[in-house]
Chains A and B, each alone.
Chain A
């Protein structure tokens, strides 16, 4: 993170798409080469700016889903939304070799540092799992021993991002646990019907408040508010709960 200590104006850089993969039918991971990338902390995001030939410009913030091993590329995982003018371009049209304007990394609040020793509770809704995945990957990269638990709410099993990698990491990264919450359709033989995240799930699969975990909650606004309320109701210190929400009304 040497670069971020330098007080200089944040600039837009021209990144290039060097790889891409579909995580689900509607979510695409972009692998971007960014010149002179200073490195980032898990949880930080970038601003992406698109400019049309007529000069119309629009920008969005996207969490970085990858950890930073010291060099290489960064990854953004974009969920296509029906009327998302930026997300549909990035999932459907943006091609390998194309440039894009990007600035970052930014955001020093919703971040996890590998030097933090507290247990960590991650609550992710939909594509809100992206910055939490960066934390899980960063922990894996340094073989961190902090106890990590992820409760991941998705509509159906097919909507889960990073499902294979998460299954592998639960097996290979000691101290990482994962519990899914399915809101519309469950896998076969799942022990409970589809439901939204609730007190019982967080109580059973999260950490007790006495462990004083660092809690990170990211997802659509309704998910984040529900999950944060549950944490407070269970007795977690609101100062230890960090949230990041996206989306307007749903």
Chain B
């Protein structure tokens, strides 16, 4: 049993460090199966400094974040498209 959150919600801090807006509320299309859903609904494996986010439907890797002391690696291999709502 672990004591941390295990869906995409929990990436909000690491993503907000990189991007100007909240990416967990964005819509992502899985390159593996085409599922459309919020980044917040992806399933997380591991925790910082290395996170793998998988599709809740086909379990393919959608994105990965690896944090090094002086940089961050963002691998978006499994995201066909990310749609970000712009504040009006």
Does A236 count as interface, using CB distance less than 8 angstroms? no
Residues 12-38 of B contacting A (Cβ, < 8 Å) = 12-14, 16-17, 20-22, 24-25, 38
Are B4 and A45 in touch, CB under 8 angstroms? no
0/1 interface trace, chain A 222-250, chain B, CB 8 Å (1 if under)? 00000000000000000000111111111
Q: Which residues of A contact B14 (CB under 8 A)?
A: 47
| Interface size classification for chain B | 20 to 34
Nearest CB in chain B to that of A83: its residue:
B1
A10's partner among B10, B16, B39, B87 (CB-CB below 8 A) is: B16
Cross-chain pair count, CB within 8 angstroms:
92
Does A81 count as interface, using CB distance less than 8 angstroms? yes
Q: Assess A84 versus B2: contact at CB under 8 Å? Given A47-B13, A110-B40.
A: yes
Does B47 count as interface, using CB distance less than 8 angstroms? yes
Does B58 count as interface, using CB distance less than 8 angstroms? no
Are B24 and A61 in touch, CB under 8 angstroms? no
Does B74 count as interface, using CB distance less than 8 angstroms? no
B4's partner among A46, A60, A103, A104 (CB-CB below 8 A) is: A60
Q: Which residues of A contact B17 (CB under 8 A)?
A: 9-10, 103
Prevailing SS type, chain A contact patch: mixed
Are B6 and A248 in touch, CB under 8 angstroms? yes
0/1 interface trace, chain A 33-62, chain B, CB 8 Å (1 if under)? 000000000000111000000000011110
* Interface residues on chain A, number (Cβ under 8 Å): 35
Q: How far in angstroms is the closest Cβ of chain A from B32?
A: 19
Are B4 and A109 in touch, CB under 8 angstroms? no
Does A79 count as interface, using CB distance less than 8 angstroms? yes
Does B48 count as interface, using CB distance less than 8 angstroms? yes
A-B complex: 10 closest residue pairs judged by Cβ atoms? A84-B3, A106-B12, A109-B40, A108-B22, A7-B20, A108-B25, A47-B13, A107-B12, A87-B3, A109-B25
Residues of B within 8 A of A (CB): 1-10, 12-14, 16-17, 20-22, 24-25, 38-41, 47-48, 87
